[in-house]
Amino acid sequence: PTSATLPRNTFTLQYCFFLPDNNSDVVGHGLLAAYGVTDWLELGAYGNYIDLNAGANDELTGAGPFARVRLIEPDGSIGAYSRFSSDDALPEKVGAFAAAYTRIPLDEAGFVKSLGFHYGVRNVWLDGAEDTFNGFLGAELQFPYRFYIVGEVSTKDSDTQAEVPYSFGVQWRAA
């Protein structure tokens, strides 16, 4: 997701498909729903569903709340999130971040309306594991009807990750 807070009274629903460690035997899905309470406060929830072995009945799920507060105009924010899970293989976590967002209008009447960039740092505390601190950089491309293609790459934590983490997905934002 972008690092910008949603405008007041707007809603977003986001979906992300991911392959942890670039392994197609493990397929993950992420879902995020959020609401702009004010122009500077966004509240929501997110969840993960991970199928550990295609065709087998090995699945992990976790979900939790998040909040994002814009501190600096136009879009400098801080936020926090947590994930709760009943399975030890998907550790519970708490995260905090500081981020910024920049939107570049391209052609508001055209097919590709804008390009946005978000960047920042985050710390994640995993239940029973080392905490991780990393930087991230992401982009979003806006199309008609409020559809977006989004992606992000993060710095690799050598203690917990074998590969450089990245994600991409499709997003739709209600009016």
Task: Return the structure tokens found at 9.
Answer: 């009274």
CA distance 89 to 154: 22
> By the 8 A CB rule, do 16 and 30 touch?
yes
% of the chain surpassing 70 pLDDT: 89
pLDDT at 143 over 90: yes
DSSP 3-state helix, strand, coil percentages of the chain (rounded to 5)? 5, 60, 35
CA distance 75 to 2: 10
Among 22-31, 72-81, 97-106, the range of highest mean pLDDT = 97-106
What is the reported pTM?
Answer: 0.77
For residues 88 and 101, the model is more confident at 101
Residues belonging to the chain: 175
Helix (H, G, I), strand (E, B) or coil at 172: strand
For residues 132 and 18, the model is more confident at 132
Q: What confidence tens digit (pLDDT) does each residue in 3-15 have?
A: 778 889 998 888 8
- Residue 20's φ and ψ, nearest 5 degrees, are -60, 135
Helix (H, G, I), strand (E, B) or coil at 144: helix
Helix (H, G, I), strand (E, B) or coil at 137: strand
